[in-house]
Amino acid sequence: GEAPNDFLKCLQPKLAVWLDWFRRTQKGHALYSYRWSGRVVTEGISHTLSSGLDDYPRSNMTNTLRDRHVDLLSWVATMLRIMDKIEKALGQKPTPASGYGAGWEALVKHAEAIHWDKDTNMYADRGLQFYPSGRQEEGFVEHFGYISLFPFLLGMAPKGNQSEAVISIMADAAHLRSKAGLRSLSKTSPRGGKDSVYGTQEDYWRGKVWICINYLALKALKTMYAGGSKQGEELYEGLRAAIVDNMVSQYARKGFIFEQYDDKSGEGLKHKPFAGWSALVLLIMAEVY
């Protein structure tokens, strides 16, 4: 149901402060760009802990000043959209100081203009890249994985060529599709051949299956993108069944819900019992999005 107006009035100023903090402290070097602060290399492993996707591969340079992170842009855009909806629900007129609706629209356009890589036909981070030839320049970070999906997951990707391209990557077993759900990093490089980072080092967000991101993918498919797309409809049904079947199987064998699942064997991994976001399987089963 809809949130009561009193609750929205209480929440609105707090969310505004939170959004302002993100827009001030995590802004990138260019207009309408955002970067997670604190990307560091520790003991030879690159981490962007502030993003929550700890060891997911970002730029291959230690210099972070030109980082542009498409997942953070998508989150900020989503915050703007939520604030715009709250304003409208409360009957408030948009002000130049807020501009939430206009801000959302600007970031949707920016995601297409800056983060859509026409060569690989996918969304991507941008950053200062080191190339085998020795040159260093800003370019797309060439990995397919959860980061590539964020404009789709949060409803920013336009329906049509872009959304179908994202669905194709999700549906492809050589990329993100696995027996346990969508893997966090593709086995295959966008340019072909094995992705050199897949399954390496800590291997936390480098291939393993996370239910929270799979829930967002199912939500996006069910509520926005699968309708009218045969490929999208088939992916929704198959992905949902795979996640539920694997988690039920693991629970029957081991008696736990796990933090993450292996993309090859389906085995539950890391912390247990993990009734945090992995418990989203109950909403997946009920198709509550």
Residues with a known catalytic role: 54, 259
Beta carbons within 8 Å of 55's beta carbon, 6+ residues apart: 45, 46, 47, 201, 202, 203, 204, 205, 206
Beta carbons within 8 Å of 123's beta carbon, 6+ residues apart: 70, 111, 115, 116, 117, 147, 148, 149, 150, 151, 152, 157, 166
CA 164 to chain centre: 17
For the four alpha carbons of 94, 109, 206 and 250, in that order, the dihedral sign comes to positive
Give the separation between CA 220 and CA 236, rounded to whole angstroms.
9
Give the separation between CA 153 and CA 17, rounded to whole angstroms.
25
At residue 199, what is the residue type?
A: G
